[in-house]
Structure 1
């Protein structure tokens, strides 16, 4: 919005406090002359001088349904055998039980109520956090934030509060949107020091990161597997260097990878964060996302969580325990503007879904999934690397689920276009997100892909080239 904001002269039927006199009383109470004063910190060039150019309103629910069907019909389904898309939204298998349980009325409608009316919700959330804690080798797990981007930004802010320092060191080998979220969510006074991976290996160098860490560093963020699918093999050394300077180590990861990879807590991470989209949530036209944050059971860390935590507590009945909020007084829900951070809508339904998924998979199921994906990733890397004109950067590094592909003559965009004509989503064009990476195609392999699926992809890639 930009320019002068015109206050409506009549109440809006669906908006509370929209009576003009009531709105003016509210403005007078907080000591501003008009709505525009509330947006004065937003640069003028980012505001809209006029209203939104919206089409005429639809006249009925039937017309709305018809309109939405038309929009949805434009979607091209990402069929498991023919889609190798990733980059933060993954086509892992979703057991039917996940949808069956998260569609139950007591969960589907349980937005932010209390245990008195949302029977079973708090227990379900407690079970989710317990399962996640076991997978992550951590003790305390929050209910989901909006997404993994938000979780990473909040984890860094926790590090800022814990240390009282003003710098963070962040790897650039993450989704461009996540890095943008971090830079916009941290206070303007915070210095964000960026560190690139080594182009030959696709990994961070512990020596390079250590050179950036100082007594002013609040936190160091390591993402593994990183945006190129490369496992950060020097994470332990990086964590040691950060700790030697009194900095907090934040690890961003995908929990589904931990059936194969070592939990970040075991190589020195103080805070672990990520997204639960891979845990039975599905793609949903771009992903149903929810961010998690996890720490050890240390009071100084627990009281820096911004979001709600669920645990067990004795009730008024002797010998009885119940599911309840833990340290609720930390949150902005209890302290309002004095809270660590503002916290609002959470993705709790996806937490329940992820809890169902983890309970179905169990330790052996997660281990089998992780091992299978690792094997298929290696198979796909090797097969594509054999094609004339193609190469696989970082071929000597360990990849999990994703890896990059290049061609001598074709850009990633050209490969994608030619493969789409053959019915394949061959991967993600990293040049659309990172300058200088127009030749890099990011290919993702999940447990839904078979060896035959990969062979078909390789055959078509060979023909287009």
Structure 2
């Protein structure tokens, strides 16, 4: 038997597969083999064979070339004319944002605890402060994984505060987000989705009132804009209904709207949540997300944040202050298995990027970009409504970025999307057999929208 047969081969770029290294690790923790770590997994669900994976490429050059070939199969929204939105948006990211987040003191593959580098803590405190100003609240968390998790966490917070079980979803909400919410809040909460008014796209207040009459509702959840892009005029009335029933009002919002539109706190929201991806974070093929949660500085609300909060804290030197965790004992990091809810690795780097973006934009810049997107959305809706066999519903409602399109021709929404793609255009996200949600942002021009309309005229019938 040769030495290569006698000894298991080490993976060329996974250092702890070196037999001597693996054995040293096992010896250190007192385990006879790796199999001991899997003892609690039932045998019936064990694979009992190696994974069906190709052999590792032996050199860094080969691996790099292979990855480049795989990545070349993607077509990004910068290569095509894209009208995709629905939670991950194409925005201009100023070059200085990338310059800052790629600095060595910030860039890391993990959240990190660089206690020798308090600049990161200050940067995140600055981000929280600007977000709080934008949202008109006092408390904003260090970002969690994404807006979906932030929503689930906000609803769980409402459940712990009220001691109730029910959650009523009052506005149009993305199907993927609803799935994530249901999964995240179970088994402690039941989610009831109230269908919106078919004609207006807005919340059905009578139906929400009926859902609340059943009692035991922890929270009414609404979005601004909704999944259909609608800024619902009934948002303040939903707050009144929720509070009259003893429930909290949780509002998911796109923070980029808040330079031009009122923040959730102004119309009664107890907890605001959402995704900061529109604030200077690249789409990253759908992965550039991070979630925020925001409340008033009220003990019953703040005590239920499971995620980290940074603030000004005293140091060992009298009269000096630094930046660090506030009320750390309430977090799952401190309480571990006794925590009210587990929150893992923070998307802290995205928080720093969003902070740089907000500092660059300032109040006037946020107002201008919000008004620009509102105007472009209105133009796109008017222009597409002129296309034969295309209907743009909810005509009277104010829309931001996203908007619904319905097709009345022979082709389905999926077929139309495929034909648009053949012409170098990413059409709207398909939401039904004859329905799609399109999106425009500040990166689109009038000519881009006109090109979309002209192309639809050619293929939609």
Same fold, TM-score > 0.5, yes or no: yes
Displacement of 1:294 after TM fit? 0.5
- SS across alignment from 1:106: coil
Tell whether the 8 Å contact from 1:223 to 1:253 is kept in structure 2 after alignment. yes
Distance 1:144 1:38, change over 3 A: farther
Aligned to 2:59: 60
Any stretches of 5+ residues in structure 2 without a counterpart?
Answer: 1-7, 11-15
Mapped partners of 1:39, 1:292: distance in 2: 38
- SS across alignment from 1:133: helix
Mapped partners of 2:275, 2:391: distance in 1: 30
Tell whether the 8 Å contact from 1:239 to 1:249 is kept in structure 2 after alignment. yes
Aligned to 2:5: none
Mapped partners of 2:56, 2:108: distance in 1: 28
RMSD: 2.6
The within-5 A match list for 1:12-411 is 12-13=17-18, 19=26, 22=29, 35=38, 37=40, 51-79=50-78, 82-109=81-108, 111-114=110-113, 116-171=115-170, 173-213=172-212, 214-409=214-409, 410-411=411-412
Tell whether the 8 Å contact from 2:172 to 2:196 is kept in structure 1 after alignment. yes
- SS across alignment from 1:322: strand
Tell whether the 8 Å contact from 1:85 to 1:444 is kept in structure 2 after alignment. yes
Distance 1:269 1:53, change over 3 A: same
Mapped partners of 2:30, 2:52: distance in 1: 25
Tell whether the 8 Å contact from 2:76 to 2:285 is kept in structure 1 after alignment. no
Displacement of 1:48 after TM fit? 5.6
Tell whether the 8 Å contact from 2:80 to 2:426 is kept in structure 1 after alignment. no
Which one is further off, 310-319 or 356-365?
310-319
Cα deviation code 1:396-431 (max 9, x no counterpart): 21111111112212211111111112111122112x
Displacement of 1:287 after TM fit? 3.4
- SS across alignment from 1:252: strand
Mapped partners of 1:210, 1:275: distance in 2: 28
- SS across alignment from 2:231: coil
Which one is further off, 365-374 or 175-184?
175-184
Distance 1:336 1:19, change over 3 A: same
Cα deviation code 1:164-223 (max 9, x no counterpart): 111111247222221111111113142211111111111112221121114300111111
Mapped partners of 1:126, 1:420: distance in 2: 43
Tell whether the 8 Å contact from 2:144 to 2:150 is kept in structure 1 after alignment. yes
Cα deviation code 1:425-463 (max 9, x no counterpart): 122112xxxxxx221121100001111211111111112
Cα deviation code 1:76-133 (max 9, x no counterpart): 1313882111111100110000000000000113844445322300000000000000
- SS across alignment from 2:218: strand
Aligned length: 443
Cα deviation code 1:28-82 (max 9, x no counterpart): xxxxx97353579xxx78x767553222222222221111101110111313882
Distance 1:18 1:188, change over 3 A: farther
- SS across alignment from 1:202: coil
TM-score norm. by structure 1 comes to 0.89
Tell whether the 8 Å contact from 1:221 to 1:249 is kept in structure 2 after alignment. yes
- SS across alignment from 1:333: helix
Any stretches of 5+ residues in structure 1 without a counterpart?
Answer: 1-7, 28-32, 431-436
Tell whether the 8 Å contact from 1:98 to 1:353 is kept in structure 2 after alignment. yes
Cα deviation code 1:336-379 (max 9, x no counterpart): 11112112211000000000000000011001100010011011
Aligned to 2:426: 425
Distance 1:320 1:402, change over 3 A: same
Cα deviation code 1:304-360 (max 9, x no counterpart): 001100011232333322112100011111111111211221100000000000000
Distance 1:62 1:267, change over 3 A: same
Distance 1:406 1:18, change over 3 A: farther
Tell whether the 8 Å contact from 1:81 to 1:449 is kept in structure 2 after alignment. no
Cα deviation code 1:269-309 (max 9, x no counterpart): 11100001110001112231100000000011111001100
Distance 1:463 1:191, change over 3 A: same
Displacement of 1:246 after TM fit? 1.1
